[in-house]
Structure 1
């Protein structure tokens, strides 16, 4: 048995945490402490570090609310973050030790949303198997629409092709910007308010702060017609995925083809070397329904479905991992 120790995160472990994230199998900058803590006032952090003989071997980003541990409500995905060289046996032992520790704290339930596989730098499906072993319950499944850029993308719908021709005829200009104010205030906030009665997940100040911390990972692309902003998208870029965090355009998008040109440019030029371009979710209502208009629009660029699962786990079931390896 390995000499495992589970430690509750405090700020003194920040450097260890961040170094491990960037060298892990399945962590991204979203799990970096600078990203996790931009909204720390909204979540009670209860993350864990797992050491083996004093060497950091795994992380579990988490927050606690109403005696339930979430991994992590402030992140799109999280789960168990493991090192590149961790053996299957070690990961089994890490997870069992983690559940045992959480059980002794009196926490009765954990909600885990593992990162989708397109974000993994190396195959790391150990958690999938472990969730099966501890009889985790699948409580939600979202669908995101992503393009595998390694395949020939020749499935644009007729609408997208017409839109691209309109955009080229209208001589639209695409620019990468370093600030988000125009897009947030002129396009994104008004559209979300009008169509859905909501605000962006990130305020303007928050997205600016995150950009200052992750300048190579958070990028803004705007579309202009005669120097007038008409559309844009905010991209969260990881090693393998360019993810469209926000997409919005004014009411001229059909006439001008602004989004058609923007995403053609991003997919085929800016992020052509990325294995995946992710348009984001098309599921709503906790994964129970699909926004068919959104789904059809994203598929019209050649995107197809990738699932993201949410599980309920009872820490007391850690004993079900006994004798797994024979």
Structure 2
């Protein structure tokens, strides 16, 4: 991924939409050193982030991403992001993305430098990887034990389950393990046999004209793409639901997708070696919708 643009955000006091926050941003060379050696985001992964898809220069689902950034900040005891300041920063970053095609904007909020006075915040923009093949061909997945039971999120809030944190080492390790097993990606399971999510995507299952996704009360990151796609499905007359899904339901689903802001909708072609039907027509309609301008 080639970074095109980076912007440091200086914390601001007001969230008034009438204020121009231009003087609180500092553009930097994305290829040059920028972070202090004492930065807690790199030392401990102590921070949160969002990845926003950009289509033809338009940043997608910005409001939902800013909502989730604030939710993650609350879970992690970080200062609440100044919503209007971050929205203006996204506009600046989107202007640096290709006018045609796809890009990705990343929002990062760190606890800052150790013993420092304030958090560190920055925004980057880059061209998105080409996901055409995976949207058409699909992904083969394996199920992996996430290492905790379905009751853990309620008992141990300090695990920060449900926040989009910078601590992604486990997620990346899961994808590497999936590839060692001959698959492309993974679906996490609780130790008591319930379905969670993929390391970098939400899971959607089709059951006839009904579409379900794991309920977010299990410490699942609430997916912005999944939320938008569910709204689209309801408008098309389909039923949608959030449920506690037992692992056995993976083998009886009519079809399944991994969905995320940059990859969009990737059909699941196999789970643990069992082939799954790929509905190419429905997948194509999902991605046409997800590639349309959405606020």
Higher RCO (C-alpha 8 Å, min separation 6): 1
Global fold match (TM > 0.5) = no
Task: Please tell me the TM-score bracket, short chain as reference.
Answer: under 0.3
Structure ID, larger Rg: 1
